[in-house]
Each structure stands twice: as structure tokens, then as C-alpha cells.
């Protein structure tokens, strides 16, 4: 995270130091984003594929908890680039979500403590594990590629020191909300340029769904 943010030459220098060492601190799950939904069948299409990748991350979190002898998986933060990401997960049938910026429930693991919010809302917060969705390259992806978004101009100062400088800072926020691991769901056909950069720089492995 520190090296990623410091690639911006205008960024104030940050030095991240942690006493905790964890294997596989960033875990990537890919899914096929080319699937088309078949009629009313919610177990098909890109929304279901995305939600299924998130559920796979929950499976892994549960397994790590069992290996550590813990009774529960702790707090889980599900991060989206946009508020509607939570609504999309619910449409898959794998999750229940009623109020933005609040709790989201896994149908498979209803006992888990899962909070959904946007990356903007998560600044300054910390959770045991973080799952990041919407990591694709596109207009409503991460980095956001909406040109001249008036809302974004109100909440973020303009930085032209490098492409997507503000979005880079936001991705740094997303990666540093966890106390343990970051799980990332991304389409294998159009992954975010930020994720491609991480894989290239750190030789990160990924599981294909």
C-alpha cells in the first residue's frame, strides 16, 4: 500500500510500519464477467458471478478463522466504489441488503458481522478483514473514469500530477482498512489497472472462479 501510493511524485511521504506479518495478505478472486443472465434465473449473469466471488472470499475468511482456532470470523468490511454495489449484491440472491452504509447479510453465513460501505465512507475505520468489489476497468469501475463528475469535484481536490491520482489515494484507503487481509473480486477479462499494477509489482497470485 505504501509503495503504491508513493508512486505519485506529489504525494506526501508515507512510511507504513506494522508489527504483524501475514502470509497472502492480498487475495484476488477472478470471475467471468461475460456471462449473460438467463431469464429470471438469478444464479446466472455478471451480478451473480461477482457475488459468488465475494462468497468465495467469505469461505476463505471462515477457513482462516478455523485454522486460528477462533470462534468467529470477526468484523468484515465489504467495500464498494459506489453505493449501488450493495444493491447489485442483493440482486444476486446470495446477500440481503436493505440500507446503504449498513449491514449486509450473507445467506450462506448469516451469523457473520458484515458491513457494507463505499470506500469514501470507510476513511479512518478499521475492520478485521476487508473484501473489495467493483475492481474492474471501466466508466463505473475503480479507478472511476467518469469525466468531469460534479459530485467528485465537490469532495476531492483536483490533482493532475499523474493519471487517476485521486483514485490512487482512494485505493490506498481501501487497502489499509484491514487488520488482517484484503480480498479483491475482479473480472478476469477487464481487471482494474490498479490491480494489474499490484500483480505486476508483487507477483500476486489469484484464484479463478
- Full-model pTM: 0.81
| Residue 113: predicted pLDDT | 94
Q: Provide CB contacts within 8 A for 5, sequence distance 6+.
A: 11, 14, 168, 169, 172
CA terminus-to-terminus distance, the chain: 25
Cβ distance 105 to 114 under 8 Å? yes
| Residue 148: predicted pLDDT | 55
| Residue 99: predicted pLDDT | 63
Residue bearing cell 501475514: 22
| Residue 153: predicted pLDDT | 52
3-class SS of residue 31: strand
Q: Could you report the average pLDDT of every consecutive run of 10 residues in the chain (209 residues)?
A: 54 65 87 73 80 95 94 94 88 82 89 94 94 90 72 51 74 90 92 85 67
| Residue 192: predicted pLDDT | 87
Amino acid at each position: 500500500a505504501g509503495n503504491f501510493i508513493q508512486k505519485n511524485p506529489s504525494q506526501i511521504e508515507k512510511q507504513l510500519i506494522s508489527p504483524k506479518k501475514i502470509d497472502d495478505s492480498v487475495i484476488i478472486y477472478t470471475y467471468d464477467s461475460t456471462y449473460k443472465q438467463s431469464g429470471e434465473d438469478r444464479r446466472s449473469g455478471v451480478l451473480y458471478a461477482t457475488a459468488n466471488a465475494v462468497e468465495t472470499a467469505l469461505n476463505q475468511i471462515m477457513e482462516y478463522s478455523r485454522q486460528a482456532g477462533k470462534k468467529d470470523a470477526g468484523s468484515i468490511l465489504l467495500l464498494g466504489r459506489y453505493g449501488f454495489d450493495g444493491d447489485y449484491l442483493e440482486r444476486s440472491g446470495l446477500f440481503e441488503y436493505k440500507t446503504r452504509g449498513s449491514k449486509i447479510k450473507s445467506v450462506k453465513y448469516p451469523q457473520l458481522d458484515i458491513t457494507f460501505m463505499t470506500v469514501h465512507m470507510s476513511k479512518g475505520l478499521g475492520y478485521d478483514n476487508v473484501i473489495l468489489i467493483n475492481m474492474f476497468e471501466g466508466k463505473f469501475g475503480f479507478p472511476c473514469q467518469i469525466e468531469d463528475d460534479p459530485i467528485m469535484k465537490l469532495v476531492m481536490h483536483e490533482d493532475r500530477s499523474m493519471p487517476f491520482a485521486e483514485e490512487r489515494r482512494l485505493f490506498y484507503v481501501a487497502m489499509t482498512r484491514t487488520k488482517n487481509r484484503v480480498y479483491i473480486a475482479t473480472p478476469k477479462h477487464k481487471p482494474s489497472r490498479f490491480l494489474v499494477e499490484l500483480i505486476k509489482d508483487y507477483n500476486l497470485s489469484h484464484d479463478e472462479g
